[in-house]
Structure 1
Amino acid sequence: MAEPVLVSLIQAIAPLLTSTATDQGRQLLATGRDVGWLRDELHNMQNFLHEMEVSRIEGKGSMATEAWIGQMRDIMLDSEDIIDIFDAGHVDGCCVLGHLRTRHDLGVQIRRIQTQLSDISRRRTEYAVQRPTEVSDRWIHGLLASSPLVHDKDIIGLDRDLAMLLRYILDDGMELSVVSLVGMGGVGKTTLAKKVYNHPDVKKHFDRCSWIYVSNTMELGNVLRELAKGLMRIPSGEVSSLSEKQLQELLLSGLDNKRFFVVFDDVWDTGLWDVIKLVLPRKDHGSKVLVTTRNAVVADSVVDTKSHVHRLPPLSSEDSWNLFCKKAFLQDGMCPDGLKETAKVIVKKCNGLPLAIVAAGSMMSRRERTDTAWRHVLDNIQTDLSNSKMEVQQTLLLSYVDLPRPLKPCFLLLSVIPYDSEISRKKLVRLWIAEGFVKENADETLEISAEKYLMELINRSMVEVAIVSCSGRVKACRVHDLLHDLAIFLSKNDRFSTICHEKDASVSDRRISLQTSGVSFSNRNKKRLRSVFMFSNSAQDVLECNIVARSFRLVRVLDLEDGNVLELPNEIGGLLHLRYLGLRGTKLKKLPRTLHKLHQLQTLDIRRTHIKKITFEISCLRNLRHLEMKQGDHSIHVPIGLDLLYNLQVLTGLQASATVIHEISNIPKLKKLSIEDLKNGDAEKLCSSLKNLKELLYLSIFLSDGTDSLDLATFKPSSCLQKLHLSGSLRALPDWFSQLHSLTKLRLSFSQLQDDPLPILVRLPNLLFLQLNRAYQGRVMKCYCPGFSKLKIFIITELEGLEEWDVEEGAMPSIQEVWIMLCSKLTTVPSGFQSLATLQRLRLVGMPSSFLCRLGEHGDDFIRVKHIPSIEIIPRLG
């Protein structure tokens, strides 16, 4: 049977191998040496293109230079394609005929590129520019490795504006009133509005609060859905199925008896505002709305007898100077006399805009402190620009130029996320790694290197911190809209990425972000695509059209998070370069078996889907680093082969079994493990396996339903364990709890502890977060002094037997938040709360009326809580 196939194969490849076809045959077969040459040449092209880019941005290029750069970029992109296809052939070159044809095609293309480079190099001297001083990579050394800390930044020059806005928002007027905050981009509107929104007095004053970013592209339906989620607390899944009319009726009826506060950030359109205000009840409950806008027409359109317009001016010269010095001279905030003249001109060109001042100050903090070096920067801020907005953009552009080369693509990738969206630190780091932006370093993991990149972008004020953990570590970040505009502009200009809003968009860039429902894109140059991000409901159609047609065959990143994806086509197994597959929040029920072909895959995220088991050969994914499967209501069955995933660092949502428990002991790089449905009979085996995980930082163990108790007595925790979540009956805390010296976060759920756990837990020297969820069955709980010296957040939920909670004076000296939820027998505020001077927020959920009535000004426990800035009372969850 094999003979006819062999004959046809020989006949097919004979023209490529005969001596009479040497020029068209052997010499045109792409060899490793050819591709090696192309890799070196690509590196040279990238370096030279970077230098030309710097000169072009600094205004030293010509129209001829622009054309030359465009030609060079096309050659560079084609070279990247060839290298990727060649590498894929080596990874999956199972078909001899197809492999030889591919090598022949690549050989032809390499010869064509050699000719193009020879031609373009002859003209290189015509566009030669002075090579700029290269930014040293030393910026990366000495930064915090895996725990970048963020400190609160002082807001300069906004105190008076804050006080005035609070007066408007908290006045005693009972009719719905609107405050409009207007000012140019970068002047600090959003910063000021957030200080109002998060102010403790505001949280106390209103029943419901919601923040909605509007932007110039948001549609009415999306605004209404955000209102319903924020003010009505309706889950996203329910809101998405409602029509605009249903949402309007829901808001008008549901908010009828509520005092609410809504911030509409960055409103551009008076027409959209005219519709929005119709769905807000105008009953006499004292509700307030704050609108931020750059458009004075929009600001004036909200004005009536009960409204206010607050115009936010740029910072004064004095405040601008103080803010600049604070960022440029980090040690003492003092400008040397020899730099003052030049520094003041730089500050003046920022036109009082905090964003530009912070960016300029951060950039200059890294410059040599000589007048010559500073004047070089000043010379690059074009002085002939008559428009102040253009001067600000030029300042921000120079901040981009000043970035070390590895950070530039990292910043540009933020162009693909929607305006004012937050992106988690973990996701951003993984995307950078998948894109190949992060340099290999023998001394640290790619993840640690990438987090250093992020911290450097934050320090340079190119990225803002959105959410911080109790340990001060960045959890999520965002980009200011002016910097977002800059990233989009640069990305489009350099074919780095494009944003698709039109219904039929053409694609010739490396990355595409779909942000409009019903969008599709044409076939032109889709072969160049490396990353696809979908933030719309078009995901299923786009997938079927392009994966099946092999348009995505060189894609490295496919992010479909929260997309309307019902199934993945089997052809996805042909995406041999795929490194990041984001399926979180989709409607998938199963994964194709062909996923085992994705040998380059580093991240697979199937959280919040309907998938219950993995059916493909997981052991084939040897490069997998992050396997995220946490579902909430079920765990994921994984077939044998986990122990072959030597690079795996994150494994969550895993269903326990004897085989799985044995295999995880052979994954030495594992740093995060979440295992569920554990039977008590397997607990001792799990403890034995965990001994081998010396780098484990996070551990979560959930017992299966009906298991009597969790016996973890033989567990010997890693000395570096930082986060621990145990869900299941313990009866008593194991002896090893006292050894958790590095632990910062602890959750105990359904533990059925008979004895007060706090005398043991207070010994944990670095604990920052503690949650007890149905964990303790006793009547009395006591915090002793000294104890919990670093604890910032303490949450107790459904401690049904708890009647008394005492806090000794001096205990919990760093506490910031306390949540008490559904503790039905606790009738008084814990004694000693009055000594918690650092406590900022007390949240009470579902507490009995006998407890709540003691909190009022004339209540017995008022003296214990009157110093707490924010007390939030919620009758029940939801």
Structure 2
Amino acid sequence: MAEPVLASLIHVLGSLLSSRATDHGRRLWSVSRDVGWLRDELHSMQLFLHEMEVCSIEGGVAREAWIDQMRDIMSDSEDAIDIFDASQVQGCCVLGKLRSRHDVGARIRRIRAQLSDISRRRLEYAVERPRESSDKWIHGLLASSPMVHDIDVVGLDKYLDVLLRHILDGGLESELSVISLVGMGGVGKTTLAKKAYTNPDVKKHFECCAWIYVSKTMELRSILCEMVKGLMRIPSAEASSLCEKRLQELLLSGLGCKKFLLVFDDVWDRGLWDIIKLVLPRNCSGSRVLVTTRNAAVAGSVEGAKSTVQQLQPLPFEDSWNLFCKKAFLQDGICPDAVKETAEDIVKKCVGLPLAIVAAGSMMSGKEQTDTEWKSVLASIQKDLSNGQMGIQQTLLSSYRDLPHPLKPCFMLLSVIPYKSQISRKKLVRLWIAEGFVKEKADETLEITAEKYLAELINKSMVEVATASISGRVKACRVHDLLHDLAIWLSENEKFSIICADKGPSVSDRRVSLQMPHVSFSNERKKRLRSVFMFNNSAPTAIKCNVISRSFGLVRILDFEDGNMLELPKEIGGLVHLRYLGLRGTKLKKLPRTMNKLYHLQTLDIRKTQIKRITFQIKCLRNLRHLEMKQDDQCIQIPIGFNQLDKLQILTGLQASTAVVREIASLTQLKKLSIEDLKNEDAKELCSSVNNMKELSYLSIFPSDGTRPLDLAMLEPSSCLQKLNLAGSLQTLPNWFAQLDNLTKLRLSFSQLEDDPLSVLVRLPNLMFLQGACNAE
């Protein structure tokens, strides 16, 4: 077996040393430098395309073709870097490294040539870059203007009543108060603010009022100028001629003891309040500032004044229906029976967004009221909602373009999830990390950075909280249907991902979401495939070996959760780029021994499978961060040596033994530990190990014999501990329970406590959930 490999190696080395291959040899040894250049070039390309999106300048077909070419080169660059990084793993044979270097070097030369050609063509066939039009800003200004009187507040009445109370009464408070209306684009924030601003009682209540459409483009001087014109009633020409400093002086001196209402519509920058508060007098006259924003962080930035936040949600169906009928049936607002069923389907497509409902109703008001006509509209309305024909996409697209560069691919990855589905916070964070969207920082883990990304997407109303824990932490999230449509449209347009609902993936697909049963991969080589997500039982019972070798070579994510998979082929070990392997809920009974080659694997999820033990050398997975093994009625044996996994943070479903408990002592970086079948003689050593886990926030211990008391007296958990799950006889609560100041959730199963534990537990300041279970007689 060794002779052919050795002969091949000698042949390669010989060719490198020959005079004819000197240049080839130099190229091989210079690949590291070329990869460094490529990393910098890729980063520059990413930032440049981000700036192009932010500017949102229309450049026609030529510009779009150029951007598509750039995206293709970026994909090729990512692949070349991944191949090089994989070849640097310790244990790769010399021959393999040389072959990888040759491959990467050739790829980089092609990329250089392509970049040169694209740059040349762009110069030779240059079309004058159009200036950004002010039409969009003017359109936004007109839409914002409170002088536009067609204001329907169907479904917003409850919000309006609360808002008027805050503006007019505010508890009869005289201090300056800021009210923020927060919600996704199109949910009715500006409409609600207009209705309050034009209310006769509001006009009487304040001495002066001003409405300022801020948007993303307005500068500070323009904002101050609008404030002076509205609140001081200074003519437009005179105000426009004043410098910024003079405008500030006028506001501070002129407002004096006046009671004013100031509305800032469509605020994006969280720093606006820090500047505006400097020119608003603290005159205790009962003045109010009203802000509309899509970003909850803008509302959270208010300091030095009383702050109230109203979070607007999409309308329920009944209110959506009433608003639609008002717009579609102008005479009496009553829907004819002939089109009622189709009309209800149209309203459901608008998923509670007033902007979409008004647009749909206005469009249908001019249609013939026959079921045939309305059904033809229903067939195309989803397309119209997505491509901007109803004015929805541009509203939501502006929210996407405002996202920081790292958050854009995070949002687009949500396109792979089926409609109406939820995704757990933990899974989403791990997928982002596996994709490489989250960059490592010196002072925090990848997981913490990723959770900050998610919090920002939620604050910016791009992602919704589906379920939360009793402490308020996000457990699962989802995407509003129209934002889901936007994510899908963006992903397809930018060749980021594709949804396969009626056919298998194509040769050039980057990320595929398979949402059909019994999917099959063709024998075509899919050289660009990076991630595979399978839903709706699309995962086959077994993946063919040639599919793995031909299609999955560069794959980072394989998610087969809840699929029908019965067997995982040994060729899975060849996927050296794999970061995430999701097998939860499959029917697997074992894992191939070749998985010890998955050096870059970060997440292995085998929960709720039929696997009883891991037989491959798991110690080789040196980048493993999350090992999820929790089963319904059993725990899993793993081989000794896992103490070398110094990046492991999550370890669940582990079967205890004396050797296992001893090795756990090295995993001081664990944040979550779930261990079962613990013997009492190993309890003290486990306690000693856990005491060194300074960042442990979750601990679950199940004994092998629930009838014998478990000695946990020596346990002194980290102050970070938030969730504790103990099973087995305790008789009395250990003394360290009183020190669990951050504990929010406690489960005690079969504890057989002789004393009432509440005298201790009531003193835990953050405990919100307590559950106990007893042995059935």
* TM-score, normalised with respect to structure 2: 0.68
Tell me if structure 2 keeps the 8 A contact 1:580–1:604.
Answer: yes
Q: How far is 1:54 from its partner?
A: 3.7
- Amino acid paired to 2:528: R
Tell me if structure 1 keeps the 8 A contact 2:519–2:540.
Answer: no
Q: What SS does structure 2 have at the residue aligned with 1:747?
A: strand
Q: How far is 1:450 from its partner?
A: 0.7
Residue 692 of structure 1 corresponds to 692
Q: What SS does structure 2 have at the residue aligned with 1:543?
A: coil
Q: Which moved more, 1:729-738 or 1:121-130?
A: 121-130
Q: How does 1:539-558 map to 2 (within 5 A)?
A: 539-540=539-540, 543-544=543-544, 547-558=547-558
Residue 66 of structure 2 corresponds to 68
Residue 307 of structure 1 corresponds to none
Q: Does 1:10 align with 2:7?
A: no
Tell me if structure 1 keeps the 8 A contact 2:618–2:642.
Answer: yes
Q: How does 1:153-302 map to 2 (within 5 A)?
A: 158=155
Render the CA deviation track for 1:640-699: whole Å, top value 9, x for unaligned.
112111111111111111111111111111011111011112111211211111111111
- Amino acid paired to 1:557: I
Q: Does 1:96 align with 2:94?
A: yes
Q: Does 1:410 align with 2:410?
A: yes
- Amino acid paired to 2:741: H
Distance 1:101 1:396 in 2: 47
Distance 1:324 1:690 in 2: 59
Render the CA deviation track for 1:806-865: whole Å, top value 9, x for unaligned.
xxxxxxxxxxxxxxxxxxxxxxxxxxxxxxxxxxxxxxxxxxxxxxxxxxxxxxxxxxxx
Residue 508 of structure 2 corresponds to 508
- Amino acid paired to 1:481: D
- Amino acid paired to 1:319: L
Residue 491 of structure 1 corresponds to 491
Structure 1 residues 324 and 25, CA gap change in structure 2 (3 angstroms): farther
Residue 319 (structure 1) aligned to one of 173, 177, 192: 192
Q: Does 1:671 align with 2:544?
A: no
Distance 1:462 1:491 in 2: 15
Structure 1 residues 95 and 715, CA gap change in structure 2 (3 angstroms): closer
Residue 520 of structure 1 corresponds to 520
Tell me if structure 2 keeps the 8 A contact 1:507–1:521.
Answer: no
Q: What SS does structure 2 have at the residue aligned with 1:624?
A: coil
Render the CA deviation track for 1:377-410: whole Å, top value 9, x for unaligned.
9xxx9xx999885322101001000001010000
Structure 1 residues 30 and 609, CA gap change in structure 2 (3 angstroms): farther
Tell me if structure 2 keeps the 8 A contact 1:546–1:552.
Answer: no
Render the CA deviation track for 1:211-267: whole Å, top value 9, x for unaligned.
xxxxxxxxxxxxxxxxxxxxxxxxxxxxxxxxxxxxxxxxxxxxxxxxxxxxxxxxx
Tell me if structure 2 keeps the 8 A contact 1:680–1:707.
Answer: no
Q: How far is 1:516 from its partner?
A: 0.5
Residue 82 (structure 1) aligned to one of 55, 80, 83: 80
- Amino acid paired to 1:402: D
Q: Does 1:447 align with 2:447?
A: yes
Structure 1 residues 682 and 484, CA gap change in structure 2 (3 angstroms): same
Q: How far is 1:25 from its partner?
A: 5.1
Residue 533 of structure 1 corresponds to 533
Distance 1:558 1:362 in 2: 40
Structure 1 alignment gaps of length 5 or more? 133-155, 163-187, 191-312, 326-334, 346-359, 776-797, 801-878
Distance 2:27 2:703 in 1: 63
Distance 1:23 1:758 in 2: 78
Q: How far is 1:124 from its partner?
A: 4.1
Aligned length: 570
- Amino acid paired to 1:110: I
Tell me if structure 2 keeps the 8 A contact 1:363–1:460.
Answer: no
Distance 1:495 1:523 in 2: 22
- Amino acid paired to 2:117: D
Q: Which moved more, 1:469-478 or 1:711-720?
A: 711-720
Render the CA deviation track for 1:492-543: whole Å, top value 9, x for unaligned.
1111100001234424232110000123344556211111101133323673
Q: How far is 1:774 from its partner?
A: 1.5
Q: How far is 1:706 from its partner?
A: 5.4
Tell me if structure 1 keeps the 8 A contact 2:414–2:487.
Answer: yes
Residue 104 of structure 2 corresponds to 106
User: Cα RMSD between the aligned structures?
Assistant: 3.5
Structure 2 alignment gaps of length 5 or more? 133-152, 160-182, 199-207, 219-264, 277-290, 295-354, 364-383
- Amino acid paired to 1:617: Q
Q: What SS does structure 1 have at the residue aligned with 2:472?
A: coil
Q: How far is 1:714 from its partner?
A: 1.6
Structure 1 residues 728 and 131, CA gap change in structure 2 (3 angstroms): farther
Q: Which moved more, 1:3-12 or 1:658-667?
A: 3-12
- Amino acid paired to 1:526: K
Q: What SS does structure 1 have at the residue aligned with 2:622?
A: coil
* TM-score, normalised with respect to structure 1: 0.60
- Amino acid paired to 1:597: K
Q: How does 1:362-761 map to 2 (within 5 A)?
A: 363=268, 390-522=390-522, 526-540=526-540, 543-544=543-544, 547-705=547-705, 707-761=707-761
Structure 1 residues 87 and 696, CA gap change in structure 2 (3 angstroms): same
Q: How far is 1:443 from its partner?
A: 1.2
Q: How far is 1:97 from its partner?
A: 3.4
Q: What SS does structure 2 have at the residue aligned with 1:526?
A: coil
Distance 1:697 1:27 in 2: 50
Tell me if structure 2 keeps the 8 A contact 1:502–1:519.
Answer: no
Residue 210 (structure 2) aligned to one of 334, 337, 350: 337
Structure 1 residues 547 and 600, CA gap change in structure 2 (3 angstroms): farther
Distance 2:689 2:603 in 1: 24
Q: Which moved more, 1:99-108 or 1:692-701?
A: 99-108
Tell me if structure 1 keeps the 8 A contact 2:420–2:481.
Answer: yes
Q: Which has the higher helix share?
A: 2
Structure 1 residues 68 and 160, CA gap change in structure 2 (3 angstroms): closer
Structure 1 residues 692 and 120, CA gap change in structure 2 (3 angstroms): same
- Amino acid paired to 1:339: I
Q: Does 1:121 align with 2:119?
A: yes
Structure 1 residues 698 and 110, CA gap change in structure 2 (3 angstroms): same
- Amino acid paired to 2:212: L
Residue 300 of structure 2 corresponds to none
Residue 202 of structure 2 corresponds to none
Residue 340 of structure 2 corresponds to none
Tell me if structure 2 keeps the 8 A contact 1:30–1:104.
Answer: no
Q: Which moved more, 1:78-87 or 1:417-426?
A: 78-87
Q: How far is 1:88 from its partner?
A: 1.4
Distance 1:608 1:724 in 2: 21
Distance 1:592 1:472 in 2: 40
Render the CA deviation track for 1:348-376: whole Å, top value 9, x for unaligned.
xxxxxxxxxxxx95746677989xxx9xx
Q: What SS does structure 1 have at the residue aligned with 2:730?
A: coil
Q: What SS does structure 2 have at the residue aligned with 1:616?
A: coil
Tell me if structure 2 keeps the 8 A contact 1:157–1:315.
Answer: no
Q: How far is 1:604 from its partner?
A: 0.7
Distance 1:4 1:700 in 2: 52
Q: Which moved more, 1:9-18 or 1:630-639?
A: 9-18
Q: What SS does structure 2 have at the residue aligned with 1:675?
A: strand
Distance 1:567 1:16 in 2: 43
Distance 1:395 1:465 in 2: 21
Structure 1 residues 720 and 490, CA gap change in structure 2 (3 angstroms): same
Distance 1:105 1:701 in 2: 50
Residue 762 of structure 1 corresponds to 762
Q: What SS does structure 1 have at the residue aligned with 2:477?
A: strand
Q: What SS does structure 2 have at the residue aligned with 1:688?
A: helix
Q: How far is 1:444 from its partner?
A: 1.1
Q: What SS does structure 2 have at the residue aligned with 1:532?
A: strand
Distance 1:404 1:519 in 2: 36
